Structure 1
């Protein structure tokens, strides 16, 4: 039987990670991201891993890709010239937002500007009611007349978001048909296709975001496919989406907003696979790259999911200060705390880190590419966490003197500290930022992190994971093999999947079993069709979910349903599951209140590969040291003599005591004085609390 050769490519803010799997062997590399033409970095990485594997690109059977291009386009507002067509009277919905104050005591609160200014938002006279009934019919002639105005303004993309179109999309589809006749070169996004859910602000904003980035992403994806084919890799290309699955390139071009969290989603899938191999039911996924850090809770080998998240927050980490995107997504906290995150002293003489990042151009000061401001990587270098000669496999030599100069110029001189003390302060601030984000995320989800295991990956995470565990009271951390390129490996573990959603409001007192069965059947057919477009012969399983609340509440909780309950439309079982999940989250149910279903969901996906359980490894001799270095221990506040070890020399069962540094081409695992490191049978390195005699 011919082995399948697959390649995963993850474009990050600083590095592009490429992983090639040939049978049971894996080859990987990290190259600096090329902003002007992101496909250049992928092609460079492709040739490097093919050379390592001794194959040519034409042998690759499948490429799976994740990118930050969609996210960056929204953050930097580099999208296409876009128009919004909406119902008369609702032109300003995306600017009025929800009218909530995300910073209650800020008297000078500044709300983020909408993606589209008011003169690019157009209206038509029409109206649907909340049940999909036509109150005011749409006149086709009005649409044609509007097209003349749109043509004069030279739009590249148009978003269509009408009131209650999730209940009846007929008017949106009429607009699409007229636009296809009058403006055939313009791309069109319908809210009833992109996000058919209630709540106008979230739905309109998601549709506008989709339209805004669609020309850019579609052009990039087709350019990437052509470039790969020209390099010999003329194989199918698939995209990782924010919900934790993969979809074909045509679907990604139609729904680019679903790519917004594609890279981080791959990391969560990677961590879930490791959790399954080790039988871990409670896992904190910690992914720290060059630009951001991502934290995700994984229960029972499954990442927590959500249906709304925010991008481009204008107030650091403040919920409500960004653009809401209403699509299926793996629920995670993302903060500006990566290796390239820049530090400065604020007006109160505090060290502040991020969210601004040096990226790969120019990069941290130590890269020698023109950067003069101190980044987290500069602090890690001065604290002994990095070897300047072996960073990124020796491809990027680091300049410690440049790091010291930048840290003193921007931090040390202002605070009266030497370079080491200022670097310590920088590292402690970024670690505390990440720890605080993890604490808040856990509390919001009713979880206690003390019973969790951390899984750390990404180029910078193993440098900071043990210190983060000390702050969070987590006893064990696993650093998997390939941790430096974890998200790209996650792409290769993800199933083909697509989640369909519908907003149909239904109080449990008016539960209609026939309507429920029809809703689920329609969504199952839609989601399955998308997956079939990727793999016509695949076995497909469907997961069912509803979003429920008590009458009068403003938000819902997700309630997973078994296939039997969903297909039988068992009202009693649905209500019982809601009450159990509500009590688990809030400690009690609300007696005497009617429960309501607002959103229905079906996720179709192919089976994931079986995770082979990791076996226990008997004790093995400790590896030989390959060197020594001075390593700053943040908990003790001083430098310690530390041994340096090569990860490849750590046989299963081999253990070492901190302080130590365990090196590999793509990252370094820092073992502080409080921890021990032990190699497990599957290649993971376990960092455990040191047992004192």
Structure 2
């Protein structure tokens, strides 16, 4: 079995190869934003040539993509039509009445300014189903046919169908789909009963419209990728990463492209979980820093957390699909440093991107970036970029920092460069605090996994600020997301609304829905070529206290669904509620809103093999000694004699004392002054961060700073 994982980022496209003999190879090529498939296939061909194999030898092609996300963020999706119940034409416009600025009477509401469906294309028809699924008003099929023809004449490229309570009875939506296939067969169709079959009126409408909005472009992209890989001879189906941290086939992605939102960033978290487990530290916080952004993920005990319904948004829109707890901030190697009109020193979120890139790339960029700052500090050497295959000009970095920052602040280039680094690092530190401390987790109980081309440059400092006891730098940090693709399974999740209480539970209905969803999930994976015995079923619940507005996800108990099962489910919810909100109410009944079934099709994961042992002395790996600039306790910019190591020559057991720099093809690692790192048995760099015994200061200080 020969497998390849490809993750497309804003600046670089990362590739990782693995086969059954344990061979692992990585590659990195510049992304091609105009058509991501170009860089993808170029990278596959180049890596295959380097390995001496044909592309046709590949058995599996796994892919993480930002195509769907970018369509939403750039507001350039399809022209969408909507068919809905009479009286509900403006659900997408009204939304939840929540305003970005609570006290402003004059503000643009993003979901109204950039409408998913223009009002002229929101069409209504007579029909009505109640909350139990009973038909109150039969569907007027003649009216449906007339409205479909109107949308066809208006030239819409996709049609979303959202009827009230269709999650309980999808018959009317299915009838509309049959009519659309007769009247307008070439249009993309999105049914709410298929895309988001659960209660919550606005969120269900928004998710279905989003699916239609991204559908035509994503379908073309996926079809093009599938056809290109087939033409190249790749055996097997293309697998794509979903926002929930599982793989779906190209067929599933074409049917439900909304599942690909946040596809790429989740792969980095999955890779971090595999890395932490291999090093013996399963609870991880991942810091994946690329050229444009930084992705932050938290996985206690190596388990992905799913976002709360209130947080499952993409850009300006609600997307009621499962999303792993990963968030992105605009801070990366290409983040531009500048002095704003008020004289404030800022870094990002504007980025130099792949073109023209940082000033040091010599591609026409003149503004200083985080990468330029690290070049000026001596952390990134001119001959270290991509093992010397990319030319870098340090004098251009120094010039850009001097002209745009240092002169305006009246300071030295070194001080300005330190400031650029610390501002960018502070943004990442705050993001980690937000997603750990504020959600009931102490970052000092985790290890920080440094990923991406720039993650290992920042991690040593961020861990110090938060009191995280160690940093783990994987063997290929710049390819961690591609590794995540090779370390996950095929997943299919389906929800259903049951709406019952622990005080008077409808046991028969809960059991019937679990059985129905289980059969559906097994059939879904069966269509992807997996036998029932290769599928693991996971069950969960969305619960809340009666009177609350939103639910928390709870693992469903095992065993027969009876009164004891409900009691155990309620107890599990009390525990989750206490973890989330620091309060529990054991005497209150629990409202069971939705049941969920996730089918997991296990695939072979990339094993991390032990590396050669070499004792504690790393001197054989020393490339040179350089003067790299760090800062003292007084904040002074000070050159430190710093050893530079070749990552490929380090062996298990080697001990590196900071300050030190470790260079490799896809990234550079910084070990700060006074820190010590060890190469563990699988070749990961483990940097130990010294904190006083029992000291609870750094992380709590970060939280208090947030509250202020």
Same topology, TM > 0.5: yes
Offset of residue 96 of structure 1: 2.2
State whether structure 2 residue 683 is matched by structure 1 residue 686.
Answer: no
Equivalent of residue 39 in structure 1, options 37, 40, 64? 37
Q: Secondary structure at the match of 2:291?
A: coil
2: CA distance between counterparts of 1:505 and 1:478?
44
Offset of residue 458 of structure 1: 1.1
State whether structure 2 residue 364 is matched by structure 1 residue 370.
Answer: yes
1: CA distance between counterparts of 2:157 and 2:86?
23
Structure 1 residues 359 and 514: alpha-carbon distance in aligned structure 2, compared to 1, 3 A threshold: same
State whether structure 2 residue 551 is matched by structure 1 residue 550.
Answer: no
State whether structure 2 residue 243 is matched by structure 1 residue 242.
Answer: yes
Q: Which moved more, 1:609-618 or 1:178-187?
A: 609-618
Aligned residues between the structures: 681
1:652 maps to: 652
Equivalent of residue 604 in structure 1, options 592, 599, 606? 599
Offset of residue 592 of structure 1: 4.5
- The correspondence of residues 505-654 of structure 1 with structure 2, limited to 5 A, is 505-537=499-531, 539-564=534-559, 570-590=565-585, 592-607=587-602, 619-624=615-620, 625-634=622-631, 636=633, 637=635, 638=637, 639-654=639-654
1:88 maps to: 86
Q: Which moved more, 1:675-684 or 1:387-396?
A: 387-396
Q: Deviations over 1:246-273 (max 9, x none)?
A: 1111111111111111111111111111
1:19 maps to: 16
**Is the 8 Å Cα contact of residues 336 and 354 (structure 1) preserved in structure 2?**
yes
CA RMSD in angstroms comes to 2.3
Q: Deviations over 1:154-178 (max 9, x none)?
A: 1111111222221221221121111
- The correspondence of residues 84-483 of structure 1 with structure 2, limited to 5 A, is 84-104=82-102, 109-112=107-110, 113=113, 114-306=115-307, 308=309, 309-311=311-313, 313=315, 322-483=316-477
Q: Which moved more, 1:60-69 or 1:575-584?
A: 575-584
Q: Secondary structure at the match of 1:300?
A: helix
**Is the 8 Å Cα contact of residues 365 and 372 (structure 1) preserved in structure 2?**
yes
2: CA distance between counterparts of 1:552 and 1:452?
35
Q: Deviations over 1:333-360 (max 9, x none)?
A: 2111122223332333222233332221
1:30 maps to: 28
Offset of residue 425 of structure 1: 1.6
1: CA distance between counterparts of 2:632 and 2:87?
59
Structure 1 residues 370 and 94: alpha-carbon distance in aligned structure 2, compared to 1, 3 A threshold: farther
Task: Tell me the TM-score normalized by structure 1.
Answer: 0.93
1: CA distance between counterparts of 2:308 and 2:523?
21
**Is the 8 Å Cα contact of residues 287 and 457 (structure 1) preserved in structure 2?**
yes
**Is the 8 Å Cα contact of residues 520 and 566 (structure 1) preserved in structure 2?**
no
Q: Secondary structure at the match of 2:331?
A: coil
2:68 maps to: 70
1: CA distance between counterparts of 2:412 and 2:123?
58
Q: Deviations over 1:56-91 (max 9, x none)?
A: 111111100111111111111121221122222222
1: CA distance between counterparts of 2:493 and 2:640?
51
Q: Secondary structure at the match of 1:510?
A: coil
Q: Deviations over 1:77-118 (max 9, x none)?
A: 121221122222222222222222444466654321333332
2: CA distance between counterparts of 1:586 and 1:46?
47
Offset of residue 423 of structure 1: 2.1
**Is the 8 Å Cα contact of residues 278 and 614 (structure 1) preserved in structure 2?**
no
2: CA distance between counterparts of 1:683 and 1:106?
55
**Is the 8 Å Cα contact of residues 545 and 558 (structure 1) preserved in structure 2?**
yes
Q: Extract unaligned runs of 5+ from structure 2.
A: 693-708
Q: Deviations over 1:527-546 (max 9, x none)?
A: 22222222333611111110
2: CA distance between counterparts of 1:138 and 1:483?
55
Q: Which moved more, 1:75-84 or 1:126-135?
A: 126-135
Task: Tell me the TM-score normalized by structure 2.
Answer: 0.91
Q: Secondary structure at the match of 1:450?
A: helix
Offset of residue 512 of structure 1: 1.2
Q: Secondary structure at the match of 2:341?
A: coil
Q: Deviations over 1:528-579 (max 9, x none)?
A: 2222222333611111110111111111111102432669982122112112
2: CA distance between counterparts of 1:396 and 1:105?
51
**Is the 8 Å Cα contact of residues 270 and 493 (structure 1) preserved in structure 2?**
yes
Offset of residue 652 of structure 1: 0.3
2:699 maps to: none
Structure 1 residues 567 and 72: alpha-carbon distance in aligned structure 2, compared to 1, 3 A threshold: farther
Q: Secondary structure at the match of 1:506?
A: strand
Structure 1 residues 620 and 173: alpha-carbon distance in aligned structure 2, compared to 1, 3 A threshold: same
2: CA distance between counterparts of 1:635 and 1:556?
48
Structure 1 residues 89 and 48: alpha-carbon distance in aligned structure 2, compared to 1, 3 A threshold: same
Structure 1 residues 86 and 372: alpha-carbon distance in aligned structure 2, compared to 1, 3 A threshold: farther
Q: Which moved more, 1:662-671 or 1:98-107?
A: 98-107
1:319 maps to: none
Q: Secondary structure at the match of 2:441?
A: coil
Q: Which moved more, 1:599-608 or 1:368-377?
A: 368-377
**Is the 8 Å Cα contact of residues 513 and 570 (structure 1) preserved in structure 2?**
no
Q: Which moved more, 1:327-336 or 1:177-186?
A: 327-336
Offset of residue 504 of structure 1: 2.4
**Is the 8 Å Cα contact of residues 261 and 314 (structure 2) preserved in structure 1?**
no
**Is the 8 Å Cα contact of residues 60 and 235 (structure 2) preserved in structure 1?**
no
Q: Which moved more, 1:630-639 or 1:432-441?
A: 630-639
**Is the 8 Å Cα contact of residues 364 and 375 (structure 1) preserved in structure 2?**
yes
2: CA distance between counterparts of 1:614 and 1:630?
35
Structure 1 residues 160 and 419: alpha-carbon distance in aligned structure 2, compared to 1, 3 A threshold: farther
Q: Secondary structure at the match of 2:559?
A: helix
2: CA distance between counterparts of 1:91 and 1:143?
14
2: CA distance between counterparts of 1:385 and 1:532?
51
1: CA distance between counterparts of 2:73 and 2:658?
41
1: CA distance between counterparts of 2:91 and 2:378?
52
Structure 1 residues 359 and 569: alpha-carbon distance in aligned structure 2, compared to 1, 3 A threshold: farther
